[in-house]
Structure 1
């Protein structure tokens, strides 16, 4: 890629890494690590690309895509069909929006309901965001993240001298060489570890979690259980796994992942569900969620409701 270190290269990386088949993470990490400024440019490009793609996805078919007033001379590139669409979105957003202030502190990375995004950090760490997620990062402390809502899978390059920290509400998590998943719901917090370890509340309880450990926090109540390591972060593969999780939480997370509005009747909201939800099946037939969790699932206006009966 030409223009190494400039905005065009950052946009190219953002477009390529948005492709689900992208597997050149090592090269992207090397490019980011060579200059701290590149991480900012890449993050801006990825955020703008995702936002414009969402806008184009939901735009009425009769409204033509905006045509830029001018276009720079660019080398011709050949992309797979899905990536070509993303490239068009990226071009449009940069003509309309331009680059945000790279000195802004801190900054948010968000996904719309039904969308996902992966953020590559300058140190080689990666954070995958599920639908309906808002994550706060800080350019003055690149080893800190705050999960305001939703779910994220952290693949962290461990540094014992500067451990990575995640703040979720009043909780703090510290990596000890780690791949771990964090979900923040209205009822509390869930953490599951696939590799390495996580320390919860390092200044107080110092609760250590290892591979296969799952922590659920509801208020002051904490429960540690064991899950299959392969199930941690399975939402990236289109699966959501639950262990005695209230149906209210299940419905909220399935809705965020698929961009559906799903409400739950109070009579069944706290009923526990254990099992795996295959998102592709629910996307094709939302009513099938009711059969899976053993309650009725009925259409309500522009959404769905889980309840004790039809």
Structure 2
């Protein structure tokens, strides 16, 4: 749909409600089609959000129907009361011609295979680039929250002071302050690097604010802040892995995710620090080509690759 096209408001509102209904269902799994619809025209995302906001507002005013009390666990952020579903559906049906609406608030996982990169466009206008062998949890009802379980992701966030974007990682919280930032979770450690704006790590009395050009490394509960090269933040999206005093064990993990191979660092070199950049596209999937740069030997052994000291 071109920007100059006239818009059919009833049709757009109907489509938006249809997506709200579908994405709120436990059975919904057609996220690529949903994202394609959002990206087709900026008015789609606006209509989707407006419809979801109307449901939020109606959930707050529709009186509950008498029901047998049931104890349930309800997440804290932006959830529609379970009793409001029928009343809201009936009200919206009168306006848009739909007979029913199913509301829900459920997380869903996005997982990538090693060697793959995927970019997700969120309904709020933010985007997330997801590296290989990564598991990210998003929320169908709230595009402003995410959880990185393992792997690496680059967040480019549309900032909203009233509703900041929140990323959970390693038991900690990251809150955006107008931000583009990279988050990595490997070997029980967390790394954060900010290329634009700022990020609050565990905001509060003992929180840490990371500004543009700063990074954070959390290991065994200890957080260390250091300077980072802004140009290198998220460079893995362009097939470049950039490091500053990072152990080779972590480099091996990153190469495994980027190349789609199983590369392990032998204890003899696992803790050795490496600084530099690796152009993964030039490796053609063969980790041995990185050995001279890393100052190690890389050999195939028992179905996987091993990084070890040169003999």
TM-score (norm 2): 0.70
Q: Which residue of 1 aligns with 2:44?
A: 31
Counterpart Cα distance in 2 of 1:263 and 1:134? 20
Instruction: Tell me the distance in 1 between the aligned counterparts of 2:152 and 2:42.
Output: 23
Paired residue for 1:181?
A: 182
Distance in 2, matches of 1:125 and 1:151, equals 17
User: Following TM superposition, by how much is the alpha carbon of 1:117 offset from its aligned partner in structure 2, in angstroms?
Assistant: 1.0
Greater C-alpha radius of gyration? 2
State the match for 1:86 in structure 2.
none
Preserved CA contact (<8 Å) 1:120 1:126: yes
The aligned counterpart of 2:97 is none
In structure 1, the residue matched to 2:298 is 297
| d(CA) in 2 for partners of 1:102, 1:280 | 44
1:30, CA displacement in angstroms? 3.8
Residues of 2 paired with 1:283 and 1:37: CA distance? 46
Q: CA RMSD in A?
A: 2.8
For residues 212 and 230 of structure 1, what CA distance do their matches in structure 2 show? Answer: 9
Query: Is 1:125 aligned to 2:126, yes or no?
Result: yes
Structure 2 residue matching 1:145: 3-state secondary structure: strand
- Asked whether the 8 Å contact 2:106–2:141 carries over to 1, the reply is yes
For residues 8-45 of structure 1, give each alpha carbon's deviation from its aligned partner in whole angstroms, at most 9, with x where no partner exists. Answer: x975675799xxxxxxx6x5554233214999xxxxxx
- Given the superposition, is the C-alpha separation of residues 16 and 228 from structure 1 closer, same or farther in structure 2, using an over 3 Å criterion? farther
Which whole-Å CA distance do the structure 2 matches of 1:218 and 1:11 have between them? 36
The Cα offsets for residues 165-184 of structure 1, whole Å up to 9 and x where unpaired, read as: 11101211100000000000
CA distance in 1, matches of 2:41, 2:31: 10
Answering whether residue 295 of structure 2 is matched by residue 282 of structure 1, we say no
Aligned-partner SS, 1:253: helix
Distance (Å, rounded) in 1 between the aligned partners of 2:238 and 2:51: 29
Gapped runs of 5+ residues in structure 2? 2-10, 20-29, 53-101
> Does the 8 Å contact 1:10/1:38 carry over to 2?
no
Q: 1:266 to 1:137 in 2, by over 3 A?
A: same
The question of whether the paired residues in 1 share the 8 Å contact of 2:298 and 2:307 is answered with yes
SS at match of 1:122: coil
**Aligned partners of 2:103, 2:274: CA distance in 1, in Å?**
44
**Residues 197-276 of structure 1: matches in 2 within 5 Å?**
197-276=198-277
| In 2: Cα distance, 1:174 partner to 1:245 partner | 25
Quick one: distance in 2 between partners of 1:282 and 1:38?
48
Q: Distance in 1 between matches of 2:140 and 2:287?
A: 40
Structure 1: 5+ residue stretches without partners: 18-24, 40-100
Using the alignment, how far apart are the partners of 1:37 and 1:11 within structure 2? 21
Distance in 1 between residues matched to 2:115 and 2:49, nearest whole Å? 31
Contact 1:33 1:124 in 2 (8 A): no
Cα distance in structure 2, aligned partners of 1:139 and 1:220: 31
Q: Report 1:50-69 matches (<5 A).
A: none
1:153 aligns with 2:161: no
Q: Aligned pair 1:135/2:136, yes or no?
A: yes
Q: Equivalents in 2 of 1:280, 1:301: separation in Å?
A: 25
CA shift in 2, pair 1:29/1:286, >3 Å: farther
TM-score (norm 1): 0.70
